[in-house]
Structure 1
Amino acid sequence: MIKNYFKIAWRNIMKHKVFSLINVIGLTIGLSASFVIGLMIYYDATFDTFHNDSDRIYRVVTDFNSPEEKDYNPGITLALEDAIKDNLNLEVVSGFYIERPSKVENKELASEFKWPNFVIYTDANYFKIFNYKFLAGDDTNVLSNPNNVILTEKRAADYFPNTAPDDIIGKTLVYNDSLNITVTGIVENFIERTDFVFEEFISHPTLFQTRLRDQFLNKQWDNTNSNSQLFVKLKASSNLATVQNRLTDLAKEHEDEEAKEYGYEQIFTLQPLADIHFNEDYGIYDWSKGQASKTLLTNLALVALFLLVLGCINFINLNTAQASQRAKEIGIRKTLGSSRKQLIGQFMGETFLLVFVSALLSLALSKWLINVFSDFVPEGLSFELFKTPLILIGIVVLLLIVTFLSGFYPALVLSKFNTVSVLKNHLAVGDKKVKLRKFLTVFQFTIAQVFIIATLLVGKQINYLLNKDMGFKTEAIVSIRSPRSESELSKKELYAEKLRAISQIKKVSIGGAAPASFSTNSTEITYMDGENEVKSELQFIFGDTNYSKLFELEILAGRSIRNDTIKELVINETCRNRLGFITPEDAIGKTVELNEEDVAIVGVMADFHQRSLKSEIKPMALRGDWYRPRWSQFQTVHIAFQNKSPNGLKGALSEIKNAYKSVYSEIDDYEVKFMDESIQKFYNKERKVSKLLNWATGLSILISCLGLLGLVIYTTNRRIKEIGVRKVLGASLIQINTLLCKEFLILVAIAFIVAAPIAYYGINNWLQDFSYKASISFWVFIASGCAMIFFALLVISVRTLQAANANPVNSLRSE
């Protein structure tokens, strides 16, 4: 019987090829999006779930509240770890310090490695929290002595190529020319998905032989460092709220009274292990991979859901519309003894067959979609993940749900026909069914309309962000960072001199990061205005005397810095306002206290945007390189070109690279950053949202218009004789087309009325993340409504004009 059901189902599908194709296309698009997006959600949600008792593992992080803002730091004060061990009843506590050595040498092989990544100083408890598999070495007493290191299998292969793990144990590596460290263990790199990318684990006592010795001997409660991180594993009986409350109490016990007086507050917070992969406030350990975003995944899931719902709506609309065409089949089946249950099974079987075909096509499309959505797809995600048992189970469940949503209501409608009425040809289309189809059509076009409006407004905002004046020169400027290992200023000055000799270069400056960058260096300053004391957070940009000229920073009063090392500040307008000066001229000659020193304000510059336009302009100052020769903030050479032509830039860039190679001949660390490209990186997430909306809009319009086409085909076929009669009585082509289009265009217009406020509300909420934003223009709504009506009219007219042009003799011949 089941075989017979599928045979009849296949015949019915092939009999109505156009409607079946429309259904398959709609379902395939929805299922393809669901498969790929579901894969992404599964991939990101399963990071670091393989550790034992992962739900009891937490990172302790630090939040800072101030009257101006809230800041987040993934690190903690060094003093906290000892306090937690003494005050909290925890199963395991382990701190580690991230420190990148400048050089590691294997003297035995005469090999040298510059600035290796992912090196931490830690203790044995780290390996009790995280599940590493030891390939060599004693795993019972690790990292207890100074000058010990455990390597991952991958890092061991770099330092000791073609050597078995057991043979590496006991060998020595030299760190930073002075630290002789013995390898005591080799662990396997995590096979599972993880954010813990560390490759070298040096014993914690070794820190006292490094430049960090004083920090660890004199641990201060008011010094928080993102490199100093702390993990805890709660006992199974521990109460999370109790532990968090105790951390809050510890922060209050050691609160700085002066900071408290000015409204500054430090809070220690427990961050769940599962939150590390998603929480952008605290970040992950390998920034090159990019941070996963729960918001983005949620938006992707909603897009997939909407596309799937649109496909299901097409199915319901077309199947209920075709109900009358299958009435005689149903009547005969009932006469021959078929029960309603059997008929529902038959129609659900047809639905499942279409869904199954769509699923096969979707799997084939998914591999292509993974490449198309490369901006959204995590780096390690591959098509092979479809073989995961949980994913396969999820696909089967999804297909059953889609089958039920798409087929159950049409099956109920079809199986409900009265046998006598059907065989007497007394079948009328119920008002409820027509109203449902109209409602579902309006729903479809509402979603499509929301996507169109959102796409236009998001595109308008991104265009505004990319084209708004940042307050400084961004075009035809490049920055080249000197090698990390290069501390001598003389080499940077030599490089700058060589650059000034290149004819295409207009100006050269040595300094820190560009005016707008991801880099932040800030401190607190105090200004005494008579008896009143004003405190403010102050960010710094570092540059020589050419810095403000190269970036064309506007000096409103006073002057720029006189030389590189004299202690003076050029503050921005926001800082001037914060300190209470009425005019830029009022600030000139005043002094502020900075690190217990009085520093003069010699100039006031116009505000510019230091970050993306999401954030407000903060108090900032331009300063020189004050702490030479102990260390230098001047690590970057900035270059402004004479002209912007591609050919001129190409030649100049070649000469710039040659000059770099002549100065740093022994180092291969050359990288050019264009200022305008750096600014564009501020809005990578917004551009991803825009790309997502473009796809969602196109696909939703496609599905909706295909569904509309199916309904139009059905309607015109049902009214073919009416059209013939009207033509015989003298109706024009335009009159007939208007008659047939009117009903559907009314539905599209209703969809626009519903969609407009929904889109406005959603986009208005999205724009709240931006301190600077484009206006929500009225023309966008008009344009999107006209676009949707145009698409609908185009689809409707294709069929209605064909029907109106048909010879009425053919349609009336049977009368």
Structure 2
Amino acid sequence: METPQPPRWATRLLHFFCTDHLLEEMEGDLAELFLQRVKLLGEKKARIQYIMDVLSLIRPVVLKKTKNEYSQSTFSSTMLRNYLTIAFRNLTRNKGYSFINIAGLAAGMAVAMLIGLWIYDELSFNQNYKNYDRIARVMENRNYDGEIGTLWSASPPLGDALRSQYSSNFKHILMASNPTRVILSTESTKLIQNGYYFEPGVAEMLSLTMLYGTHKGLNEPHSVLLSESMAKAFFGDSNPVGKLMKIENTLDVKVTGVYKDLPRNSDFNDMAFIAPWSLYLSSRKWIQKDAWWQNGFQAYVQVADHVNMIDVSKKIRDIKLKHCDKEEALAKPELFLFPMSQWRLYSEFKNGVSTGGRIQFVWIYAMIGIFVLVLACINFMNLSTARSEKRAKEVGVRKAIGSLQHQLISQFFSESLLVVAFSFALCILLVQLVLPFFNDIADKNVSIAWNNSLFWLVSIAFCLFTGLLAGSYPALYLSSFQPVNVLKGTFVAGRFSAIPRKVLVVGQFTVSIALIISTIIIFQQVQFSKDRPVGYSRDGLIMIETPTPDIHKHLDAIRYELKKTTTIVELSESLNPMTGISFTSNGYEWTGKETEQQASFATVYVDHEFGQTVGWQFKAGRDFSRKFATDSMGVVLNKTAADFMGLKDPIGKTIRQTAFGQTSIYHIVGVINDMIMESPYEPVKKTIYKINNGKGNFINVRINPVQSTRDALQTIETVLKKYDPDTPFAYKFVSNEYAQKFGEEERMGKLITFFSVLAIFISCLGLSGLASYIAEQRTKEIGIRKVLGASIFNLWALLSKDFVYLVLTAFIIATPIAWYFLNDWLQSYTYRTEISWWIFAVTGLGALLITLLTVSFQSIKAAFLNPVKSLRNE
């Protein structure tokens, strides 16, 4: 019989660390002691005890050496190289788990990076302007029917009033138009573009980069500044300063400057041209320079460097109240400065106070990014701690030969950071591939800032944070093992050792389930609003902007020709588009009105054919008709306006309006169902429809449904060109314009869907790895059960049930959390859906199905193993 031998590697350790004198004294004694223990304890326990004896002998030597090295340099280059070498070997030895860790972390980091780029784009909005923190627009709060409403517009005389009374508080005070779409033309090129009419000083205030000309270009009365892209469109690469062009086919102007295109994340990014405010006033005779009752214009200011914007805002509060007439004063107008820094994210007002806006999306996406990244880190923690028993002997040996706990922690952190480094490289690749799709969904133009040092500093900090977060629990957990228990073979993880892993899995699926519920409810809210009755027919209805008076002059001829060809059903003209209301009016009196009641009505100016064109729906009365000359002073009310007035039988009743020192009497000819012309999420405003006696800004055309849309558009273009050859033909489908009102919520839903899919993917990766490990641990148990007659289904159920319980627990936790936050989100919409029970049921079943599909692959694979292979070592 062969003589038992002690472990050869332990003897080699003794030779490596100990002196010759110590070897002569101890080696023989250890060998003799080993043989005695074999007879008493058996070979297996004797070998373990021999290892413990050797380690106890060499430990003082190694510990002394380690402490000396550590005192010289905590992290020497050799130590770091060894850490990384060991970390790399561990990764290559366990390729499947390494892939899960790296892929999961890369996906989580990619989500966090995409959201980070989106948030940076939002937070940096308008920061391209050097005076960003000193620029504001003048806005107005006024009483509307007992509530304070906020106007984003100003009156024409406001600029002069501010300059005369508070000039020392401002560096710039500039009156301006709203964004205006006009025809820009030269002899060879005609384009409809968006631009502004500004008082001189805008180029300095907005710190425009002038490529040609100077900031003083607008000082000339018939001048125009062009954006770089517009200058190229009209004049190529040559210097256009001094060249002549026309605005609206009638205003001759000279190019006095070209400014660099403004970035997309700025409020003036679509500003193709800037023309003088004085030119705007002279070309629109209806504007009264001293009319405080006229709104619909803009006032921008840059406060002086030595003053506080809040203090200035308080000073100018009553300037309009002091100048306006008695009727206007009843609305108690109060002006205030709204800083540029808040235009983008805090643009929603309620009762005169900013209540937020897009900032809620910033917070939502930031939380999603954090949660998804944490999910990825949970995968790393789960798999690292799950495989802890396989690393236990390594930790035991290291500790026994003198490794300090902080060195073990450093070792595990180095492994974590190496995984993060590989994950970050994969993350960059994923982000670069996904960015076009992401930009399309988010309506952004973000990109990786390769040349930005700040980006790389943030990325390095991000990687360190992720590495430390992902590696913290494994490092602290694994380094705490006791070497005596591990090397004696008495180490047992304990009945509660799996609890942290179960908690982490529950946390993962809680987040994933909550995201899925959020996605469903967001899309349900959008669909609920889309299904809301709009009060007219959008099918085949188009809007065509008419910047010149030529179409208005020949409107009857155009209508006749298009109807003659059966191209259209009807055509009408209106002052505002079908998807927006531009005017409000007050000063109305009617029978039964309370004396102190202040009433403000949205006002839509139309022609007689408007109702037939759009297909509005009457509750009472009739449509406007050219057969009745009195209809020029007739009005149509929507249901909300009629209910507000409290008129039981409104048809034929008169209402009186006193405005601008004149009194007009209108008679009610009809009442229609509410038409949604603004936000589909809010109640319809009380609206009065009046006959417009002048030029409209839009024509509305109902295409004949029997005609091909393509052919109909070609015919409409031909007829319009006949009467207005200088205006480019541009049309918009009302259905498309209406659909854009859901854009923000739909984008939010799509992005959350995208992130939810990635969250589920990450969670399933971790679940798959964990299921694989548990199946590997229970291989012998599975073999025994198969020998005893267990079926494949029994084994599948055995391995799957624990995960099912975890997902059900996550569902129970996620449901009330998701309901609470989504119910709170829905409260911001006046017109909103209800949260139905089936949403939670479908989500729970979906999560359960995904879990079973993920776990079943590993479970069935383990169940099909040959029990002979599983039990042969026994």
The equivalent position to 1:345 in structure 2, one of 410, 418, 426, is 410
Stretch deviating more after TM superposition (659-668 or 711-720): 659-668
Query: Could you say which residue in structure 1 is the equivalent of 2:195?
Result: 118
Give 1:54's aligned residue.
132
- Choose which of 317, 325, 349 in structure 2 pairs with 1:248: 317
Give yes or no for contact 1:448–1:701 (8 Å, CA) kept in 2: yes
Between stretches 309-318 and 543-552, larger displacement belongs to 543-552
Q: Specify the SS of the correspondent of 2:599.
A: strand
The alpha carbon displacement at 1:313 in A equals: 0.6
Instruction: Return the letter of the residue paired with 2:687.
Output: M
Aligned residues: 780
Name the structure 2 match of 1:703: 762
Quickly say closer, same or farther: Cα 1:680–1:47, change in 2 above 3 A: closer
Aligned residue number for residue 29 of structure 1: 107
- Structure 1 residues 414, 769: CA separation in 2 closer, same or farther (over 3 Å shift)? same
Rounded to whole Å, the distance in 2 between the matches of 1:172 and 1:462 is 48
Conserved in 1, the CA contact under 8 Å of 2:102 and 2:419? yes
Tell me the secondary structure at the aligned position of residue 603 of structure 1.
strand
For the pair 1:224 / 2:301, whether they are aligned, the reply is no
Larger radius of gyration: 2
C-alpha displacement at 1:137, in angstroms? 5.5
Q: Which one-letter code corresponds to 1:388 in the other structure? A: N
Residues in 2 aligned to 1:707 and 1:87: alpha-carbon distance in whole angstroms: 64
Query: Which position in structure 2 is the counterpart of 1:559?
Result: 622
Deviation at 1:487, TM superposition (A): 3.8
Cα offset, 1:618, TM superposition: 1.6
Q: Does 1:87 align with 2:166?
A: yes
Superposition map of 1:286-297 within 5 A: 293-297=358-362
Report the AA paired with residue 173 of structure 2.
Answer: S
Q: In structure 1, what is the equivalent of residue 700 of structure 2?
A: 637
Deviation at residue 222 of structure 1 after TM alignment = 3.3
| Change in 2 beyond 3 A, CA 1:382/1:47 | same
Give the superposed CA RMSD: 3.3
2:858 paired with 1:781: no
The residue type paired with residue 316 of structure 1 is: M
Counterpart selection for 2:771 from 712, 721, 736: 712
* 1:745 CA displacement: 1.3
SS of 2:139's partner is strand
Residues 50 and 530 of structure 1, relative CA distance in 2, 3 Å threshold:
closer
The reply to whether residue 360 of structure 1 matches residue 425 of structure 2 is yes
Contact 2:588/2:655 (CA < 8 Å) preserved in 1?
A: no
Q: CA separation in 2, counterparts of 1:498 and 1:234? A: 59
Does residue 492 of structure 2 align to residue 422 of structure 1?
no
Matched, 1:508 2:570: yes
Q: Distance in 1 between matches of 2:678 and 2:168?
A: 42
How many Å apart are 1:531 and its aligned residue? 7.4
SS of the counterpart of 1:569? Answer: strand
Moved more, 689-698 or 410-419: 689-698
Given candidates 514, 518, 528, the residue that maps to 2:590 is 528
Deviation at 1:664, TM superposition (A): 4.2
Which runs of 5 or more residues in structure 2 are unaligned?
1-77, 350-355
**Alignment check: 8 A CA contact 1:150 1:185 kept:** yes
User: Any residues of structure 2 matched to 1:144-183 within 5 Å, and which?
Assistant: 146-147=221-222, 163-164=238-239, 168=241
Pairing partner for 2:639 from 558, 573, 598: 573
Per-residue deviation at 1:726?
A: 2.5
Cα pair 1:446 1:751 within 8 Å, conserved:
yes
Aligned partner letter, 1:449: I
Aligned residue number for residue 623 of structure 1: 690
Structure 2: how far apart are the matches of 1:407 and 1:573? 64
Q: 1:59 to 1:654 in 2, by over 3 A?
A: closer
Alignment partner, residue 729 of structure 1: 788
CA deviation after TM superposition for structure 1 residue 651, in Å:
4.5
Aligned-residue identity in percent: 27
Q: Which letter maps to 2:311?
A: T
1:215 maps to which residue? 288
**Offset of residue 201 of structure 1:** 5.0
Q: Judge conservation of contact 1:145–1:205 (CA < 8 Å) in 2.
A: no
Point out the more displaced range, 389-398 or 520-529: 520-529
Give the TM-score normalised by structure 2. 0.82
Q: In 2 relative to 1, CA 375–765 (structure 1 residues): closer, same or farther, beyond 3 Å?
A: farther
- The SS at the match of 1:77 is coil
- Please state how far the C-alpha of 1:332 moved relative to its aligned partner: 2.0
Contact 2:102 2:423 in 1 (8 A): yes
Q: Aligned pair in 2 of structure 1 residues 549, 33: CA closer, same or farther (>3 Å)?
A: same
The normalised TM-score by structure 1 is 0.87
Secondary structure of 2:554's aligned partner:
helix
* Alpha carbons 1:454, 1:759 under 8 Å: kept: yes
CA distance in 2, matches of 1:539, 1:174: 34
Q: Secondary structure at the match of 1:215?
A: coil
For the pair 1:591 / 2:655, whether they are aligned, the reply is yes
Partner of residue 60, structure 2 = none
Aligned position for 1:19: 97
Looking at structure 1, the residues matched to 772 and 493 of structure 2 have their Cα atoms a distance apart, in angstroms, of 17
- Answer yes or no: is the 8 Å Cα contact 1:590–1:601 preserved in 2: yes
Maintained 8 Å contact 2:107/2:758: yes
Q: How far 1:182 moved relative to its partner?
A: 6.0
Deviation of 1:650 (Å): 4.5
Q: How far apart are the structure 2 equivalents of 1:37 and 1:727?
A: 49
Structure 2 counterpart of 1:499, from 562, 565, 579 = 562
Taking the TM superposition and a 5 Å limit, the aligned residue runs for 1:357-756 are 357-377=422-442, 379-383=444-448, 385-430=449-494, 433-475=497-539, 477-481=540-544, 483-503=546-566, 505=568, 507-512=569-574, 516-529=578-591, 532-533=594-595, 535-563=598-626, 566-582=632-648, 585-593=649-657, 595=659, 596-625=663-692, 627=693, 631-633=694-696, 635-643=698-706, 648-671=708-731, 673-756=732-815
Task: Give the deviation of 1:52 after TM superposition.
Answer: 4.0
Unaligned 5+ runs, structure 1:
283-290
**CA deviation vs aligned residue, 1:690-746 (integer Å, no higher than 9, x gap):** 211221221111111221122211222112222222333333333333332222211
User: Which residue does the alignment assign to 2:858?
Assistant: 799
**Residue 682 of structure 1 aligns to a residue in which SS?**
helix
